[in-house]
Amino acid sequence: MLGVSAPTAKIAKEAGVAEGTLFTYFANKDELLNRLYLELKMDLREAMMTGYPAGKSLVVRNRHVWDRFIGWGSAHPLKRRAMRQLAVSDRITEESKKLVGDAFGEFDDMMRECAAGGAMRHQPPSFVSAIMSAIGDTTMDFIMREPAQAKRYTKAGFDAFWSAVAG
């Protein structure tokens, strides 16, 4: 897997289009990668925040987001892998990162609320979010190995996350 360093010819081939066709829609490879990053993040946001139980307790809201985060990542392992690679790429612009940040406002508010109390009270919300992501990745990896245990791992992962932030 070449990730963001894949040549546009290979990207076009995988997409089933001519390389020139890519540049009909995108001015350059960086624009293509930024658009993909935005699309993946918005797809994840939609999955996590649909039916978000605003007004419910912090644990209920976190569990809602967690279950949908794990469900999305488990159902879309290639999207998950691409999103992780793009998230650490220096090709993703500050503008794209800001658009994603703006779209995840409710999620960020929830992470701030998590950071305000418990074991994370002296940590920035981004640290709480990173912990959720790391435990989520481990949970999804185990689900991929043992799909029949998905419910068990989803619950165990959430319990570990919640203990880390609320304990």
What pLDDT digit, counting tens, does each position of 78-91 carry? 999 999 999 999 99
Of all residues in the chain, the percent with pLDDT exceeding 70 is: 85
> What's the whole-model pTM score?
0.86
Average pLDDT in the chain: 89
What average pLDDT does range 52-65 have in this prediction?
A: 97
How many CA atoms lie within 13 Å of 118's alpha carbon, on the beta-carbon side?
18
How far apart are the C-alpha atoms of 166 and 71, rounded to whole Å?
A: 23
Least confidently predicted of 14-28, 70-84, 86-100, 131-145: 14-28
Confidence of residue 1 (pLDDT cuts 50, 70, 90): low
Q: CATH second-level architecture of 28-166?
A: Orthogonal Bundle (1.10)
Reading the block at residue 109, the tokens are 């508010």
Task: Write the pLDDT tens digit of every residue in 115-151.
Answer: 888 888 888 888 999 999 999 999 999 999 999 999 9
Between 67 and 2, where is the model more confident?
A: 67
**In the numeric block, which tokens belong to residue 82?**
């691409």
Instruction: Specify burial of residue 74 (Cβ count, 10 A radius: 0-12, 13-18, 19+).
Output: buried
Confidence class for position 102, pLDDT limits 50, 70, 90: very high
Looking at residue 95, its pLDDT comes to 96
Q: For residue 124, what is the DSSP state?
A: -
CA diameter of the chain: 54
pLDDT of residue 26: 76
